[in-house]
Structure 1
Amino acid sequence: MMTNAPIVVACDESGNDGENLLDGSSPIFAHASLTLSDSDAADIMIEVRARTRSQSAELKSKTIVQPKHEATARWLLQHPLLESGASVHLTHKRYFLVAKLFDSTVEEMAHAEGYDMYADGSALSAANILHFLAPSAYAEKWDEILLAFQNFLRAKTAGEATFTLERLDAAFVKALFIETPMRDFIELAYAGISHLGSLSALQLGHGIDHRLRTLDPLIPAVGATVRLWAKASGKPVEILHDAAKELSPERIAAIRDDLAKPERVSPREAGTGVELTSVVLVDSQHDERVQVADLVAGIARVVAQRVAAGEDHPLFDEIKPLISQDSIWPNEALMNPEEARRVATRS
């Protein structure tokens, strides 16, 4: 385990609707992280304020994403200190939900039989196949499955979990009456519903000291951020994060434990653990490093939202170098099992 002083990474987010992935305020969640010093962040914020002529007590991303401030946003994204000192983890929320559905059913069945679907890219390939092809194959019935699954994972009581699981079962049964090449995938997912009971118990906090938030994109984004900067720096990581109630002491402890022992999810990850020393929650109003992270996250979300809709954005070329390769984003190329295997082996 690493023993040297930790690298301090400041973070903020944009587009967070918690576990509401299907009909929140934004289809994209962006989590920015950076390693700027206090003084460098202060200098950047002074310049951004001057360029935008902002008089607000705390300049937020909603200002810099306005079209009239595009030049300022471009200046920020092209700042030399961000070239190697900033990263953005993106989550395509609908794809994230699809991947969770596959992981919670089919992948769990495979895991019980000793087959690691992460190792050869099978899980990655199947998630992309479902994301891109199931909507046209099943139309509104696919939406019913996803909504029922989301409601199940968001259940707050055992009774609500039972009711929503029954709705999910019924949604699957309706889809199974449709003859389509996608039917094999749906049959596999339906067969894996039996594994959702144990997940539901954890979702409700049974047997653990906190309720899991399986669908909250903030949790995997923080984990990915720690892994990125730990591997880039060779140091333990201290996260400085804008206040977020989801990052409770219990969840932070769970994240720290999962990062140290990744082999519990995939045996091939044995020996690749990283150290999260602490997560310090701050009021962004009093920390300019977090303020810069807020600006970057906001710009990234707006750009990614446009891209996800199949449209161009003038800042895409500037934000692209900052996007983490561990982002949770659909890719049609990954429907090809060989390409998915290549990506899985690389990661």
Structure 2
Amino acid sequence: MPTTIVCDESGYEGEKLVGGVTDVFAHASIRLDEETAAACVAELRDRIKSPATMYKANHLLRAKHRATLLWFLGPNGPLPGNASVFVIDKTHFLITALVDHLGARPATIPFLYDAYRRTEEARAFLDAANDYLRAHETAVLPRLDPLLPAIIRAAEYWSDGTPVHIAHDRQTTLSPARITALRQASPAIAAIDQLDSFVDHRVQIADFLAGITYRIASGYLNGAGDPEVTAALAPYVDPQSLWITPWLSAVASA
């Protein structure tokens, strides 16, 4: 029987990579059984004591629950050896696709990225470039959709040479045609099913990890780094994440 991994994301806006609400995309994959995941959610409820019907990452990220957040990510929590998170700097992702589309030199990537961070003109240019590339996309697996390479990478990360079964939180973008194309694109994918986060505790755990990573990475991009949580996240951040800033280096050396 193939290994089953359960996935969820945070910061997803489809092919809209700049000029939207989020600047980071985080895709978490976990290898936990439902019983273990349910026990973890119960532990979080006992620690946080919120009446919310369903917990999200923002519950863990509140200052008063700092100890619970560090427990969740730490060696006594459920994640060591059972979790990975793939992180994408969405601006970097767009610029890389644009440079590849134009056949420009790779050195153009850091130049455009730096300009985007500093000038309104570069931001307007990349916003228009994003719209242009989206309008001219015809592939079943669009180049600008970060969810698709993230799913492929999750399968590759967890595969021991045999394909893995992916159970993903429901996403309208995961049409039958795209699921078929993803399986054809990666021999590491045995199957892709979609789950309801309201009834599957494994999806909730993946949602926590993705949401925490999104918030911490986005904070770093915007001048609000959190070294303690960054260090706690370090064991889970996929080294093949698509990132250009020093934050990923900080994670790798933590």
TM-score, scaled to structure 2 = 0.88
How far the C-alpha of 1:237 sits from its partner, in A, is 0.8
Instruction: Indicate the SS of the match to 1:18.
Output: coil
How far the C-alpha of 1:130 sits from its partner, in A, is 3.5
Q: Which residue of 2 aligns with 1:153?
A: 133
Q: Which residue of 2 aligns with 1:105?
A: 102
Q: Which residue of 2 aligns with 1:237?
A: 164
Find the aligned partners of 1:221 and 1:66 in 2 and give their Cα distance.
28
How far the C-alpha of 1:331 sits from its partner, in A, is 4.1
Instruction: Indicate the SS of the match to 1:216.
Output: coil
Find the aligned partners of 1:320 and 1:71 in 2 and give their Cα distance.
17
Q: Which residue of 2 aligns with 1:251?
A: 178
Aligned 8 A contact 1:65 1:298 in 2: no
Q: Which residue of 2 aligns with 1:293?
A: 206
Instruction: Indicate the SS of the match to 2:235.
Output: helix
Find the aligned partners of 1:295 and 1:140 in 2 and give their Cα distance.
34
How far the C-alpha of 1:129 sits from its partner, in A, is 4.3
Find the aligned partners of 1:129 and 1:141 in 2 and give their Cα distance.
14
Aligned 8 A contact 1:128 1:331 in 2: no
| Deviation beyond 4 Å, 4+ runs, structure 1 | none
1:201-247 per-residue CA deviation (whole Å, 9 max, x = no partner) reads xx246xxxx4x4322211111111111111xx333111111100111
Is 1:16–2:6 an aligned residue pair? no
Find the aligned partners of 2:244 and 2:190 in 1 and give their Cα distance.
32
Q: Which amino acid aligns with 1:249?
A: P
1:180-213 per-residue CA deviation (whole Å, 9 max, x = no partner) reads xxxxxxxxxxxxxxxxxxxx2xx246xxxx4x43
How far the C-alpha of 1:80 sits from its partner, in A, is 4.9
- Structural mapping, 1:91-130, within 5 Å: 91-106=88-103, 123=106, 126-130=108-112
Q: 1:281 to 1:21 in 2, by over 3 A?
A: same
Instruction: Indicate the SS of the match to 2:15.
Output: coil
How far the C-alpha of 1:153 sits from its partner, in A, is 2.3
Question: Residue 69 of structure 2 is aligned with which of 67, 73, 78?
Answer: 73
How far the C-alpha of 1:10 sits from its partner, in A, is 0.6
- Structural mapping, 1:254-293, within 5 Å: 254-260=181-187, 275-293=188-206
Find the aligned partners of 2:43 and 2:157 in 1 and give their Cα distance.
28
- Structural mapping, 1:33-182, within 5 Å: 33-78=29-74, 79-106=76-103, 123=106, 126-132=108-114, 134-135=115-116, 139-155=119-135
Find the aligned partners of 1:224 and 1:61 in 2 and give their Cα distance.
23
Is 1:308–2:221 an aligned residue pair? yes
Find the aligned partners of 1:20 and 1:72 in 2 and give their Cα distance.
33
Q: Which amino acid aligns with 2:195?
A: V
- Structural mapping, 1:213-224, within 5 Å: 213-224=142-153
Q: Which residue of 1 aligns with 2:244?
A: 330
1:254-312 per-residue CA deviation (whole Å, 9 max, x = no partner) reads 1111223xxxxxxxxxxxxxx21111101111111111111111111111111122332
Unpaired runs of at least 5, structure 1: 108-121, 156-199, 261-274, 333-347
TM-score, scaled to structure 1 = 0.66
Find the aligned partners of 1:136 and 1:84 in 2 and give their Cα distance.
36
Instruction: Indicate the SS of the match to 2:242.
Output: coil
Aligned 8 A contact 1:33 1:225 in 2: yes
How far the C-alpha of 1:55 sits from its partner, in A, is 2.0
Aligned 8 A contact 1:226 1:237 in 2: yes
Q: Which amino acid aligns with 2:229?
A: L
How far the C-alpha of 1:70 sits from its partner, in A, is 1.7
Q: 1:204 to 1:136 in 2, by over 3 A?
A: closer
Find the aligned partners of 2:131 and 2:42 in 1 and give their Cα distance.
44
Q: Which amino acid aligns with 1:220?
A: P
How far the C-alpha of 1:144 sits from its partner, in A, is 3.1
Find the aligned partners of 1:14 and 1:244 in 2 and give their Cα distance.
12
Unpaired runs of at least 5, structure 2: 247-254
Find the aligned partners of 1:88 and 1:136 in 2 and give their Cα distance.
25
Instruction: Indicate the SS of the match to 1:59.
Output: coil
- Structural mapping, 1:199-218, within 5 Å: 200=136, 203-204=137-138, 210=140, 212-218=141-147
